Amino acid sequence: MEIKRIPRHVSIIMDGNGRWAKQRGKERIYGHFEGAESVRACAEAAVEEGVRYLSLFAFSEENWGRPEEEVMKLMDLMMDSIKNEVGTFMDNDIRFLVLGNRARLSPSLNKAIDGLEQMTAGNDRMTMIIFLSYSGKWDILQAAKKLALRYKDDPEGLDSLEIKDFDNYLVTAGIPDPDLLIRTSGEERISNYLLWQCAYTEFYFTDILWPDFRKNEFRAALEEYAQRDRRYGKVK
Ligand code: FPP
């Protein structure tokens, strides 16, 4: 069945990898490996349905507080995914971007990310954004710091600043706000993700754990979105 109204930007809080692994008596990283397969499946479905931006919350600023071994293995998984999927990005005309506090990532991971970002810069069927070492409050603070420097000798300029101007100081500058935010695993909260950018985003919560969230589940979220009535605070 054809879905009528396709969101331009779908964002996902991928949650439940650890629980998925635990249910199977395996280590948490096993859930992250299976979760990477869900990333691939959702990216395929997004391209097929004509979604223009797919963003994924892969690692929060708070996630640095997890056991060192899990953090290391997650970073290795990111590195392997980047190295192994170059062909997939090029074949499917997908632009790749990583947004977040890049200074906290290792030099080798940053180098691999830069390489894939540059290689895919001209692709325009879909943009896939991985939020890595990201948090919403961090993003707003770094924007405020940049603004303070930019306008330190220009109080009039500062005074005339508008909301759309502030958008340009966030790491998501130039990227449309998410139309649909999906969170898996039954948790119903935003967990310091895209706080500013989700002002009018439609939320979709599901009990399905991220490693089980594949093409059919992604399409079900799009179908639900197509039924929503978006009014942006106005009256129809
Ligand atoms: C949340 O599950 C998941 C994460 C913190 C990591 C997400 C990372 C991936 C899916 C790896 C692949 C990503 C890319 C972009 C290749 P959790 O560990 O918080 O699960 P729990 O709540 O059940 O403990």
* Across 17-39, average pLDDT: 97
* Across 205-223, average pLDDT: 98
Structure tokens at 66: 């997890």
Residues of the chain with pLDDT > 70: what percent? Answer: 99
**1 confidence band (pLDDT: 50, 70, 90):** low
User: Which single residue is written with the structure tokens 């395996």?
Assistant: 26
Q: For residues 118 and 124, give the distance between their C-alpha atoms in angstroms, rounded to a whole number.
A: 13
Distance 67 CA to ligand 1 centre (A): 14
pLDDT of 228 over the 90 cut: yes
Q: Is the CB of 9 under 6 A from ligand 1?
A: no
Catalytic residue of the set 15, 139, 177, 179: 15
Task: State the DSSP string of 141-174.
Answer: HHHHHHHHHHTTT-HHHHHT--HHHHHTTSTTTT
**161 confidence band (pLDDT: 50, 70, 90):** very high
Q: Is the CB of 183 under 6 A from ligand 1?
A: no
Q: Is the CB of 15 under 6 A from ligand 1?
A: yes
pLDDT of residue 4: 81
| Structural contact between residues 218 and 54, judged by C-beta atoms closer than 8 angstroms | no
How far from 125 is each of 24, 31, 46, 52, CA to CA, in Å? 37, 29, 10, 7
Contacts of 160 (CB under 8 A, 6+ apart): none
Concerning whether 63 is annotated as a catalytic residue, the answer is: yes
Distance 189 CA to ligand 1 centre (A): 16
Concerning whether 124 is annotated as a catalytic residue, the answer is: no
Q: Is the CB of 17 under 6 A from ligand 1?
A: yes
Tens-digit pLDDT profile for residues 110-149: 999 999 999 999 999 999 999 999 999 999 999 999 999 9
Closest ligand 1 atom to 19 CA = 23
- Sign for the CA dihedral angle at 183, 22, 36, 133 comes to positive
Closest ligand 1 atom to 74 CA = 11
Task: Name the nearest CA neighbour of 181 among 140, 217, 225, 214.
Answer: 225
